[in-house]
Amino acid sequence: MQVLLIASEVFPYSRTGGLADVMAALPEALVRLGLDVTVLSPWWQSLSGEPREIWRGSVVAGGRFQPGPIRVGELREAGVRYLFLGTPAFDRPGLYAADDVQRFLDWGGRVLPTLGSLGLSFDLLHGHDWAAGIVLAHARQQGLKSVYTVHNLQYQGRWSMAEAAAWSGLPSSMLQETEFYGDLNLMKAGLVFSDHVTTVSPTYAVEITTPEYGEGLQGVLQARQARGALSGILNGLDLERWNPAADPEIRPMTAAGGKAANVAALRAEFGLDTAPILSAVTRLVSQKGIDLLVEALPEVTQRWNVVVLGSGDPLLEAALKGWAQHPRVRYVGGMNEGLAHRLYAGSDAFAMPSRFEPCGLSQMISMRYGTLPVVRETGGLVDSVPHDVGFRFAGASAADLTASLKEARAEWEDRVIWQERVRRGMALDFSWEASARQYAEVYRRVLEG
């Protein structure tokens, strides 16, 4: 089976979040199952690695965002072929920008013609999130089978329909199916033109069919669900990258020992007292509920040291910088890969008070590193955090979070019970193999259907 996976970013070549991590691990797991896998992503100017250019030309599909030649580069790693399609619009510093919908609308229209120029064909296309939605619309035009995965329904890729219609390359009848309150919606394109829709956890697949989580697209998703064309597959974890026994960023750790040394090292690094350490490694956005943690800090700091790593909302950043004057609060802005590893390994508990969480990887990493997650019961947090490992709460409020942290703090005092939770968490299997088998089965059903 020859499968083309399409996404806006892929680790380690380009990354802003969890999508890139999935695109690094899932293709390799599919290859281990015997599939022939190619990954296609933009050739960002800031791309890590040096692709070998294998094609340059001026393929036109529909209208153009910017005229000029395009190019295709190639890298191969662990049995996966990575292709990078570059257009003039992506030849500038950084990754995402205000004109992304325009850029990806143009980029997506060039994908299939360019692959045709290279003599490449695939049994099935697998698009990921809104940036790939337009590719699946063009695939439907050509009668190609496809699967579409929603990683986060909140980000939809909307743009004025009046402006997009002139050069989208799609007939008006197809454009009408992408319409969303007068806009072109690339997420909706993926939802309506793919043969099967998946999300990154079973619970999120149910949640997005409701008004609370459906982001205005719940009707479309209910229709897919009614036809048996919507399912949830929990993301896995890259167990080589996140291996506490061999992680160069920390002191070696297994369920049998090593955790205490990492806790002591983190305590010394930040000058914290003997209270247990609660950490968060996150984007500072409303989805992640960090505002609930900030609101809860007056009470939480009576029982916990708190360390937060992340950036985003300027108001949240300012609030955390202010709280960092407190002897039990530390805030580090931006993203720091090494520190993230040390926080997962050296904390006692990990806070994820998310308002919604399609899947989440941090809770899986924290459990693998012997740190117990304190999570809101939503999305992938429900599917991955057992009651006998982490601490779960229902309401999206500072009071609910505080109550759960109070429970966790009381249990931390009983080292035998706490260590048993840690042991169970570190023994959980979050490998990609099970998830990859589920994707392969979806591919098979789509191709046979």
Q: What is the pLDDT of residues 351-402, one digit of tens each?
A: 999 999 999 999 999 999 999 999 999 999 999 999 999 999 999 999 999 9
The predicted-structure confidence for 4-41, as pLDDT tens digits, reads as follows: 999 999 999 999 888 999 999 999 999 999 999 999 99
Query: Is the residue at 243 inside a domain?
Result: no
**Looking at the structure, do residues 122 and 186 belong to the same domain, yes or no?**
yes
Q: What is the DSSP string of 168-222?
A: S-S-HHHHHHTEETTEEEHHHHHHHHSSEEEESSHHHHHHTTSTTTSTT-HHHHH
146-150 and 124-128: which strand pairing?
A: parallel
Closest C-alpha among 228, 235, 232, 236 to residue 203: 232
**Looking at the structure, do residues 289 and 214 belong to the same domain, yes or no?**
no
**Looking at the structure, do residues 279 and 354 belong to the same domain, yes or no?**
yes
The predicted-structure confidence for 293-308, as pLDDT tens digits, reads as follows: 999 999 999 999 999 9
**Looking at the structure, do residues 232 and 173 belong to the same domain, yes or no?**
yes
Say how far apart CA 414 and CA 314 lie, in whole Å: 39
Q: pLDDT over 70 for what percent of the chain?
A: 98
**pLDDT at res. 63:** 55
Query: Is the residue at 244 inside a domain?
Result: no
The predicted-structure confidence for 194-205, as pLDDT tens digits, reads as follows: 999 999 999 999
Q: pLDDT over 90 for what percent of the chain?
A: 92
The predicted-structure confidence for 173-195, as pLDDT tens digits, reads as follows: 999 999 999 999 999 999 999 99
| Strands across the sheet containing 179-180 | 158-160, 183-185, 179-180
Query: Is the residue at 242 inside a domain?
Result: no
Query: Is the residue at 254 inside a domain?
Result: no
**pLDDT at res. 214:** 98
Q: Are 349 and 372 in contact (CB under 8 A)?
A: yes
Query: Is the residue at 247 inside a domain?
Result: no
Query: Is the residue at 246 inside a domain?
Result: no
Using 50, 70 and 90 to split pLDDT, how confident is the model at 166? confident
**Looking at the structure, do residues 200 and 338 belong to the same domain, yes or no?**
no
Query: Is the residue at 385 inside a domain?
Result: yes
**Looking at the structure, do residues 335 and 397 belong to the same domain, yes or no?**
yes
183-185 and 277-284: which strand pairing?
A: unpaired
**Looking at the structure, do residues 226 and 284 belong to the same domain, yes or no?**
no
Give first-to-last CA distance, the chain, whole Å: 15
**pLDDT at res. 57:** 86
Compute and round to an integer the Cα radius of gyration of the chain. 23
Say how far apart CA 158 and CA 397 lie, in whole Å: 30
* DSSP 8-state symbol, 14: S
**pLDDT at res. 241:** 87
Counting the structural domains of the chain, the total is 2
The predicted-structure confidence for 57-108, as pLDDT tens digits, reads as follows: 887 665 555 667 899 999 999 999 999 999 999 999 999 999 999 999 999 9
Query: Is the residue at 124 inside a domain?
Result: yes
**Looking at the structure, do residues 55 and 166 belong to the same domain, yes or no?**
yes
**Looking at the structure, do residues 378 and 444 belong to the same domain, yes or no?**
no
CATH of the domain at 158: 3.40.50.2000
**Looking at the structure, do residues 188 and 143 belong to the same domain, yes or no?**
yes
371 token code pair? 């740190």
The predicted-structure confidence for 213-252, as pLDDT tens digits, reads as follows: 999 999 999 999 999 999 999 999 989 889 999 999 999 9
Average pLDDT, integer, range 305-323: 97
Burial 404-443 (b: 16+ CB within 10 A, else e): bbbebbeebeeeeebeebbebbbeeebebeebbeebbebb
**Looking at the structure, do residues 228 and 273 belong to the same domain, yes or no?**
no
**Looking at the structure, do residues 211 and 324 belong to the same domain, yes or no?**
no
Domain that holds residue 399: 259-429
**pLDDT at res. 371:** 98
